[in-house]
Structure 1
């Protein structure tokens, strides 16, 4: 239990898409024994774990904000923010240090707005993009790994939830698949069944990488609101 006379520390680790945020949080957690709260709405969806880059199998105690399926629809930002604050409060009552791995812009804003009223000592570490050209190459390689690891199959299952197609089309990465289908005149229902040759996968990977880059730019702008005690870290993996 955290001491009643010791203000718990909440250390926020944030970073744009593909900058190694989960790796950094995992390394910090293993070094300190602190639990990690994952402030990411998309990673709450168990059926798009590859698409969302949900951390798995690294022996770190992570707490997600919910356990959802795409058919459940969008996880409202205000509900997710409440879940985040509640999870931090519970863990800070049991641990002197809690790590918060932040990737969601909406949750970043919610946490920043509430931070001053919370009885914790906040510190933050923001990962940044050192070399934009190298980062784009990294995102492309990452997208290709996702595509070969099951992203297309996750998309196929998600697209079957007809009533949730607008939501599916808004998910980072899956939005790129929808746009690629429109450009290539391919029915999204048929995407997963196309022959997965190298040229096709590389073409789709370019679209996914661009979507992730656009999200990363929005994330980087939002994360600047976190920094009372900000430590910039350049990282490309």
Structure 2
């Protein structure tokens, strides 16, 4: 996992440095929180938030368009007891795990952010982002009605569409601060619906192998694939590209 993420970000950096021409390159890091929505918590619930952190590199093609690569590590959790569904509360299942996530995004700035030599300069802007990447979910605890079921660490990587919005703010000539909310669309239905190690089937025991004594508690599972979200704050440093002098001056 670490090798893939390293190669991914290294490739981006090499491309950016060799193509840096009067443009700007940013590097930054930040902290955030993750949220889970799925079979245990069908509705978005901030009470299941868990901490996370990330490293980001951004290449600003223009004042409007940026390319960004980001690697994130976050904890993830779900709990039937926090659901609005009575069947979920009766089942009383919970899970905890962690996610490694890395993706490449295109960002669109709505305002003329960090421009120079123009009347319409803006020191902040809202933006949209859309990208593609991989994630790896690793469960380390599943608890059902007081029974703990340790699981082996899964090393499979899955693809996800990353989309979201945020705000960028210039705080000095070289420093920016960013707030971003992003959501993941998980492409593989089977793996994408198993962030909580459950997905919709008529016979849960055929998939989960759980104790038959608690099988009746398993199905409030829904047809909707699981999702996870990440809300983060990033502090980034801007490197200003070297402009070649104009020989005619």
TM-score by length of 1: 0.21
Larger radius of gyration: 2
> Which of the pair is proportionally richer in helix?
1
Q: More relative contact order in 1 or in 2 (CA 8 Å, sep 6+)?
A: 1
